Structure 1
Amino acid sequence: MTVVALLSVAPVREGSMADEVADAVATLDEFDVAYETNPMGTVIEADDVGTLFAACEAAHRAVDADRVSTVLKVDDKRTNDDPAAAKVEGVEEALGREARGDRE
Structure 2
Amino acid sequence: MTVVALLSVAPVREGSMAEDVADAVAALDSFDVAYETNPMGTVIEADDVGVLFDACEAAHRAVDADRVSTVLKVDDKRRSDASADEKVAGVEAALGRPAKRRRE
Which of the five TM-score ranges fits, normalised by the shorter chain?
Answer: over 0.9
C-alpha distance in structure 2 between counterparts of 1:93 and 1:39, whole Å = 24
Q: Deviations over 1:29-80 (max 9, x none)?
A: 0000000000000000000110000000000000000000000000000111
C-alpha distance in structure 1 between counterparts of 2:103 and 2:45, whole Å = 28
Q: TM-score when scaled to structure 1? A: 0.96
Q: TM-score when scaled to structure 2? A: 0.96
1:9 CA drift (Å): 0.0
Show the counterpart of 1:12.
12
1:99 CA drift (Å): 1.0
C-alpha distance in structure 2 between counterparts of 1:102 and 1:58, whole Å = 29
1:103 CA drift (Å): 4.4
Instruction: Letter of the 2:60 partner, please give it.
Output: H
C-alpha distance in structure 1 between counterparts of 2:51 and 2:25, whole Å = 15
CA RMSD of aligned residues (A): 1.2
3-state SS, counterpart of residue 98 of structure 1: coil
Instruction: Letter of the 1:91 partner, please give it.
Output: V
How many residue pairs are counted as aligned between the two chains? 104
3-state SS, counterpart of residue 100 of structure 2: coil
- 1:1-104 correspondence to structure 2 within 5 Å: 1-103=1-103
C-alpha distance in structure 2 between counterparts of 1:29 and 1:102, whole Å = 25
C-alpha distance in structure 1 between counterparts of 2:2 and 2:101, whole Å = 28
Identify unmatched segments of 5+ residues in structure 1: none
Identify unmatched segments of 5+ residues in structure 2: none
Runs of 4+ more than 4 Å apart: 101-104
C-alpha distance in structure 2 between counterparts of 1:6 and 1:24, whole Å = 13
